[in-house]
Structure 1
Amino acid sequence: MQHSSITEAPHIDIQDMDFTYSARVRLFDALRWRLERGSITGLLGKNGAGKSTFLRLVAGLLQPHGGAIYQAGVRPGDRSLALLQSQFLVPDAFEFPARSRVSSYVKAWSAFYPAFSFEKFEQILSDFQTSSARRFGEMSFGQQKKVHIAFALATNCPLLLMDEPTNGLDIPSKSYFRKILGRFLADEQSVIISTHQVKDVENLIDRIAVLEGGKMIFDQTLDSITQQYSMGLSTSLPEDALYHELMGGGYQFLRQRREGETQTPMQLELFFNAILSGKVNLTNGL
């Protein structure tokens, strides 16, 4: 028996989604959002904003209490085989069987993903300087996280959801993580990376979406942001600065980009803090 498959990167369409954990606490309130195919999106928000819950809703592990979520026209909560084979979630918290070898675990679970590449899996593990011959019980949390990331990329799923993927990784491994995603992702794949460590993904993502107060309050490409705003460091605060932070003996600042001015590099943490402080025009971000 053959099953249909979803081969294109899912276009996520969230329509007026509500979700509550209790009658008194509404986490999401009529949230609307759309994800274009082929983007690497950084999902940002303060602790408690609901980033992990959002990914679980998109994956179909939780059901919205109002509104709807669609992946390529399919509701994730229906748990169709084709949709499950087209997505992979790397959770922040997980537990592998301690006595199992990585190779045995991968052999068992890879059968679920028709496009799984053992060659890619082994190459990524090698780049991460670990081996599939090891047992999970012999590995640190960070090493197990590397296995999870390698497995996710080896599935070749059109949609990858990653919840705090750099947690537990040392500084060299974080650098490898960015290089690996840049090397092994296909143009048509979509990735959502939920993180509070924004500097870890600054040079990797091409758009940001910000959760706050039960809504998606901002959604723009990084190129669009740097076309509108300039970010820099100065010993004196520019008069037209919209937002600033003290840094050493000077100021890290955000201001409107002037006509004809060269685009400045993105400073994601600064810009994220400016959004939360209300210094960015959110009507231009959605």
Structure 2
Amino acid sequence: MVSIKDLKFRYSKRQSPLFEELSFELPSGSIVGLLGKNGAGKTSLLKLMVGLLKPTEGSVRILDQQPSARQASLLQEIYFLPEEFHQPSISIRKFVKANAGFYPRFDKELLKRLLADFELPDNKQLNQFSYGQKKKFLIAFALSTKCRLLVFDEPTNGLDIPSKAIFRRVMAGSLDEDQLVIISTHQVRDVENLIDRVLMLEQGKFIMQKDLHDIASKLQFATTSTPHGENVLYHEMVPGGYKVITPQTDGSSSVDIELLFNAISNGSEKLKEYVK
């Protein structure tokens, strides 16, 4: 689905490269979490994948096509929901009528169900919605396109707690096996039960590319009363004790992605052999 090889990108010749020799492949049928600190290059990487930016060197291919060529045959298979957006002064009905035709697999019945789930009236002007309501509509529309590649930049920003729960439910229940979803977010708790694979960016390079199944088979995440112990690879103080990461001992574990991200970002040497 997504194939990036030896990617090099800089915004201008006067600037240092944001990415150098970045390579990875992502198959369909999964939900990928793209994580990183501010300035790590997450949004730029998303824009390279959807064709809004062009590589300086190397290749970016989606469904074996170059997204920067902006071919209609590929654009109809990609939907990008940016963190910042503008909504026109039209109703949902008119927006759908004007835009659904660009996506051959658009599912109107799915959109109807998602709008009901998000409690959005389809006859109200989009510019009259709150930011959270606008975000819910765009999420619903994106899922209804049934595009092969769905790219979301901070999709849960602006959503209240009930809406975040609905987002997780509709995301899990609205995807087909031939689709790939990439979610870039700082709100890891909002999406960690959805994600199959984690990509962690730091200073333009991946410091981790792992399936959650692989992580769960190697590492155990728990809360304890003490951070000490020869098997503790990383710990953080929390109310009532400590969150710790230790080597896996019983063969199964629920991965705490936020704790893992903090551990790797803080350069925990003990963890390197488990996530490389």
Partner Cα separation in structure 2 for residue 283 and residue 34 of structure 1? 22
- How does the TM-score come out when normalised to structure 2? 0.95
Aligned residue among 195, 209, 213 for 1:219? 209
Partner Cα separation in structure 2 for residue 73 and residue 285 of structure 1? 29
- Alpha-carbon distance change, 278 to 224 in structure 1, aligned in 2, over 3 angstroms: same
Partner Cα separation in structure 2 for residue 202 and residue 34 of structure 1? 21
CA contact (8 A) 2:41 2:203 kept: no
**For residue 267 of structure 1, what is the aligned residue in structure 2?**
256
Moved more, 229-238 or 161-170: 229-238
**For residue 20 of structure 1, what is the aligned residue in structure 2?**
10
Partner Cα separation in structure 2 for residue 189 and residue 129 of structure 1? 26
**For residue 199 of structure 2, what is the aligned residue in structure 1?**
209
**For residue 5 of structure 1, what is the aligned residue in structure 2?**
none
Partner Cα separation in structure 2 for residue 155 and residue 272 of structure 1? 32
- How does the TM-score come out when normalised to structure 1? 0.92
Partner deviation per Cα, 1:46-90 (whole Å, 9 max, x = no partner): 011111111110000110111110112211111111110111001
Partner Cα separation in structure 2 for residue 37 and residue 153 of structure 1? 15
Residue 283 of structure 1, CA deviation: 6.1
Partner deviation per Cα, 1:93-139 (whole Å, 9 max, x = no partner): 00011x21111011100011111111111110110111211101210
Q: 3-state DSSP class of the match of 1:185? A: coil
Q: 3-state DSSP class of the match of 1:151? A: helix
Aligned residue among 232, 240, 244 for 1:253? 244
Residue 278 of structure 1, CA deviation: 2.0
Partner deviation per Cα, 1:135-180 (whole Å, 9 max, x = no partner): 0121011100111111111101111000000011001100100000
Residue 282 of structure 1, CA deviation: 4.5
| Structure 2 residue 102 is matched with structure 1 residue 112 | yes
CA contact (8 A) 1:32 1:215 kept: no
Partner Cα separation in structure 2 for residue 114 and residue 65 of structure 1? 32
Aligned residue among 68, 78, 84 for 1:77? 68
**For residue 278 of structure 1, what is the aligned residue in structure 2?**
267
Equivalent position amino acid for 2:167 in 1: F
Structure 2: where are the runs of 5+ without partners? Answer: none
Equivalent position amino acid for 1:275 in 2: I
Q: 3-state DSSP class of the match of 2:102? A: coil
The number of equivalent residue pairs is: 273
Partner Cα separation in structure 2 for residue 282 and residue 102 of structure 1? 48
Residue 249 of structure 1, CA deviation: 3.0
Partner Cα separation in structure 1 for residue 157 and residue 275 of structure 2? 28
Q: CA RMSD in A?
A: 1.3
Partner Cα separation in structure 2 for residue 219 and residue 205 of structure 1? 13
Which residues in structure 2 correspond to 1:61-100 (within 5 Å)?
A: 61-97=52-88, 99-100=89-90
Partner Cα separation in structure 2 for residue 204 and residue 131 of structure 1? 27
Partner Cα separation in structure 2 for residue 110 and residue 237 of structure 1? 53
Aligned residue among 161, 172, 192 for 2:182? 192
- Alpha-carbon distance change, 238 to 265 in structure 1, aligned in 2, over 3 angstroms: farther
Equivalent position amino acid for 1:80 in 2: Q
CA contact (8 A) 1:217 1:282 kept: no
Structure 1: where are the runs of 5+ without partners? Answer: 1-10
CA contact (8 A) 2:147 2:179 kept: yes
CA contact (8 A) 2:219 2:274 kept: no
**For residue 153 of structure 1, what is the aligned residue in structure 2?**
143
Residue 264 of structure 1, CA deviation: 2.0
Partner deviation per Cα, 1:228-251 (whole Å, 9 max, x = no partner): 001100001241111100011311
Partner Cα separation in structure 2 for residue 76 and residue 284 of structure 1? 34
Report runs of 4+ in structure 1 exceeding 6 Å deviation: none
